[in-house]
Amino acid sequence: MRIFSGIQPTGQIHIGNYLGAISQFVQLQEKAECIFSIVDLHAITVPYNPQELSKNIFDAAVCYLASGIDPEKSILFVQSWIKEHTELAWLLSTVTPTGDLLRMTQYKEKSKQLRDAKAGLLNYPILMASDILLYKAEAVPVGQDQKQHLELTRTVAKAFNSRFGETFPVPRVILRESGDKIMALNNPKKKMSKTAPSGCLYLFEEPEAIKKKVMASVTDSGKKVKYDLEKKPGISNLLTIYSLFSGKPIKELEKKFKNSNYSSFKKSLAEQLIVSLEPFRRKKKELLTREVYVREVLRQGAKRAKVIAASTMAEVRQKMGLA
């Protein structure tokens, strides 16, 4: 089975990114043919700093590798290095209903935040479809916030196949059973996001920062450490994080801390996170001293991706009468 997924180079990776996506990638590469891309073309659909983008692309590669992506088992590359992504996106736009693009929740939300939203933001889902279909991926691991875009990819694949003949597999969605939505430490009603650093715990956070953020995290009224999303969203979020990093079921954690107060629970969680995140910190520091190696991984990944992309485009052009 071939799998494709990508992450935008928009700064540091937080534990929500890791638990909801990257940890899943690490598991999938052991049993599937995985293609992972740093999707820099998606990052330019909103205002950005070119100098920061260049740095973030390299940092994203380091983060992927430090998080467990193995270039011997997976293909890792930068999206913009493969021109076929944009070529296929244009061709797929000819079979994509405009109404479907205008209904995308992410477009509606982001366009409201911007004074002058550009066409690239509207066409974002077509480029995403291109990323996936270019490699004929059969499955895509995504979070709930990208599920609607994946459904559009399926629609586009079916439309192309219907008009030009069977070409693309219709990819299925892979959703994580738990950890897909980690909430902000300072506001358990909002998803963890880099736009709110105080509520965001980064994957490569230093021990002191981890302790400080966890101890300051919002909990709920009462003192009982119990999972209840409706009545206790704060402690429920912390229990989810603890469970996923410790490998212990939430029920087991509830039993362990049934006679403890929130402060004791948070202290234990902070200790768990410091230990769990130490290998990531250590690996990232090592990779930052090996720039030549990281760039070679990306170069070799692009070379491998190019072979697949070129083959797909030759078939697409032929079927569309462009060959």
For residue range 219-277, list pLDDT tens digits in order: 988 889 999 988 999 999 999 999 999 999 999 999 999 999 999 999 999 999 999 99
Q: Of 73, 147, 181, 194, which residue is the catalytic one?
A: 194
Quick check: do 2-170+291-319 and 183-286 share a fold? no
Place domain 2-170+291-319 in its CATH homologous superfamily.
Answer: HUPs (3.40.50.620)
pLDDT of residue 323 exceeding 90, the answer is no
Q: Of 73, 110, 147, 248, which residue is the catalytic one?
A: 110
Q: Give pLDDT, residue 10.
A: 78
For residue range 288-311, list pLDDT tens digits in order: 999 999 999 999 999 999 999 999
CATH of domain 183-286: 1.10.240.10
Q: Centre a 10 Å sphere on the Cβ of residue 178 and count the other Cβ atoms it contains.
A: 11
Residue 267 annotated to the active site: no
pTM: 0.88
Which are the contacts of 115, defined by CB distance < 8 A and separation ≥ 6? none
For residue range 223-234, list pLDDT tens digits in order: 899 999 889 999
Query: Domain boundaries in the chain?
Result: 2-170+291-319, 183-286
For residue range 72-127, list pLDDT tens digits in order: 999 999 999 999 999 999 999 999 999 888 888 777 777 777 777 888 888 999 99
Residue 191 annotated to the active site: yes
Q: Which amino acid is at 213?
A: K
Residue 256 annotated to the active site: no
Phi, psi of 314 (to 5 degrees): -60, -40
Q: Which amino acid is at 215?
A: M
Q: Of 136, 191, 266, 284, which residue is the catalytic one?
A: 191
Q: Which band of pLDDT confidence, cut at 50, 70 and 90, is reported for residue 176?
A: low
